[in-house]
Structure 1
Amino acid sequence: MAIVEVTVIPLGTGTTGLSSYVAGCLQVLEQATDIKYQLTPMGTVMEGELPRLLELVSQMHEQPFLAGAARVSTTIRIDDRRDKPGTMQGKVASVTGKLAAPGGTD
């Protein structure tokens, strides 16, 4: 399972407000019942099989164009760990567990 962070930035929109474009991208994910996702202030993190996540990123990238953007810049970060299963929740729990332990970190 992979974890992908994606940021879709519409350009040439004529406004500095982008939340309606973000909402359009998230509608793609709301329809995808086979993945988990989390909206963050600066992007969206998704968890699932990598080919499916890349398919969804492509659909998300297309949404601002459909809403009238003249240009779209999309940034993708992929964490594809194959030695053991990884999840968004597991990554966060690993760090917070180390913060709570005596000595703080490894």
Structure 2
Amino acid sequence: MSALVEFAMFPTDQTESKSAFVARVLDLVDRSGLPYRLTPMGTIVEAETVGEIFALIEQAYEDLAEDCNRIYSAIKIDYRKGPVGRLEKKIASVEEKLGRKLDA
């Protein structure tokens, strides 16, 4: 199985800039050992199950809740039977059809 989950999470009761809070969440993602890709609008994480990623998201909520009273998040899920590795394969498939490598 392969779960790709894109999520964005940040407090709404803190400063205008959210990068310090996003960095805290991204540190948790990085330490999870799961493959991920940071984008300007969120982070995409891949795992064998949605549950693995939900556990990571719950951990991020707990971390931010220590000093944030209100936390916003948006979550998109692409769950598919088959092996993991789609985080890279989906991009490679589009690049192949374009006949060139996309800028990261």
Q: TM-score if structure 2 supplies the norm length?
A: 0.83
Separation (CA, whole Å) in 1 of partners of 2:63 and 2:54:
15
Bigger Rg, which one: 1
1:79-103 CA-to-partner distances (Å, cap 9, x unmatched) read 1011x335110010111111129xx
1:56-94 CA-to-partner distances (Å, cap 9, x unmatched) read 01112233222x222011111111011x33511001011
Q: Which stretch of the first structure deviates more once superposed, 72-81 or 85-94?
A: 85-94
Separation (CA, whole Å) in 2 of partners of 1:38 and 1:23:
13
- The offset of 1:11, in angstroms, is 0.6
- The offset of 1:4, in angstroms, is 0.6
Q: Could you say which residue in structure 2 is the equivalent of 1:39?
A: 38
- The offset of 1:52, in angstroms, is 0.7
Q: Where do 5+ consecutive residues of structure 2 fail to align?
A: none
Corresponding pairs, count: 97
Separation (CA, whole Å) in 1 of partners of 2:53 and 2:46:
8
- The offset of 1:26, in angstroms, is 1.2
For 2:36, the aligned partner's letter is Y
- The offset of 1:2, in angstroms, is 0.8
- The offset of 1:30, in angstroms, is 2.2
Residue pair 1:61, 1:74 contacting (<8 A) in 2 also: no
RMSD: 1.6
Identity score, percent:
34
Q: Where do 5+ consecutive residues of structure 1 fail to align?
A: 102-106
Q: TM-score if structure 1 supplies the norm length?
A: 0.82
